[in-house]
Amino acid sequence: MDDLLKQLALCIERGKASKEAPYPPDMKGQDGASELTQQALAASISPNDILHKALMVGMNNIGEKFSRGEAFIPELLISAKAMKAAMEHLKPYFDSGVAQHKGTIVLGTVAGDLHDIGKNIVRMVLEGAGWQVIDLGVDASTEKFVQAVDQDPTRIVGLSALLTTTMVNMEDTVKQIKQKYPQAQIYIGGAPVSKEFNDKIGADGYFPDPHSFAKHLAAQASK
């Protein structure tokens, strides 16, 4: 069983989504994340163990490489694709309550901004780390974020922006959520964003990459 989980973690790290996937070339024809997840379930390995001992391990490995400059956005996207292939088989267990998420995060690109590549990477990394993500998409209004938190005030909020002209919309969203829910956790990210801007608008944290964000959330969840 340990060997199966190790091989599954490697498929996530290398981005081997399925047996048919041509990438990476040195794993051509081998079972990928999809097949190995099915095999793990058939071997009565719990969905939580598959998530925590294989999928999260693989995503963490590629994340560490990214942080060290040994992997780049294309590698992250390919790993995320493999992660998605595996999660398709685990989703029914989470939906039924057999497996448990760490919590729920509302994620979206703020109003006026139509960029979603960075947000999508963050979403896939967080899902790979065991979080349920409610993705509001791009050009998400302050009202959309507030309504999502209205449904469950314990939800964590993540705001993304790629344009300096849309950063101001982060401030309005943070302000309105905090006025209604002072204890809400709101985090921001995106190319033009900085810690100084985070402090200025009263958000709870800025992270330059998705893996540092996931690590922070994991540390908070374990307290």
Provide the residue ranges of all domains of the chain, joining segments of one domain with +.
Answer: 2-96, 104-221
pLDDT bin (cut points 50, 70, 90) of residue 191 is: confident
Q: Report how far residue 70's alpha carbon sits from residue 189's, in angstroms, rounded to the nearest whole number.
A: 22
pLDDT bin (cut points 50, 70, 90) of residue 189 is: very high
**Residues 74-103: pLDDT tens digits?**
898 899 889 989 989 998 888 777 777 788
Q: What per-residue confidence (pLDDT) applies to 139?
A: 96
pLDDT bin (cut points 50, 70, 90) of residue 56 is: confident
Q: Tokens in use for 127?
A: 């899902």
pLDDT bin (cut points 50, 70, 90) of residue 169 is: very high
Q: What per-residue confidence (pLDDT) applies to 101?
A: 79
Identify the H or E element spanning 135.
strand 132-135
**Residues 35-49: pLDDT tens digits?**
999 999 999 999 989
- Per the CB < 8 A criterion, the answer to whether 33 and 79 are in contact is no
Residue 1 has pLDDT above 80, yes or no: no
CA dihedral 178, 181, 184, 190 (to 10 degrees): -40
Question: Can you give the pTM of this predicted structure?
Answer: 0.78
Domain spanning 2-96: which CATH class is it, in words?
mainly alpha
28 in helix, strand or coil? coil
Respond yes or no on whether the N-terminal peptide bond of residue 24 is cis (omega within 30° of 0).
Answer: yes
**Residues 126-165: pLDDT tens digits?**
887 788 899 999 999 999 999 999 999 999 999 999 999 9
Q: What per-residue confidence (pLDDT) applies to 68?
A: 87
Q: What per-residue confidence (pLDDT) applies to 9?
A: 96
53 in helix, strand or coil? helix
122 in helix, strand or coil? helix
Q: What per-residue confidence (pLDDT) applies to 125?
A: 82
At the fourth CATH level, the homologous superfamily of domain 104-221 is: Cobalamin-binding domain (3.40.50.280)
Percentage of residues of the chain with pLDDT beyond 70: 99
CA angle 122, 151, 154 (to 5 degrees): 60
Q: What per-residue confidence (pLDDT) applies to 211?
A: 80
**For 151, what's the count of Cα atoms within 13 Å in the CB-facing half-sphere?**
12
Q: What per-residue confidence (pLDDT) applies to 96?
A: 75
List all residues 6 or more positions away from 174 whose beta carbon is below 8 Å from its beta carbon: 159, 186, 188, 201, 202, 203
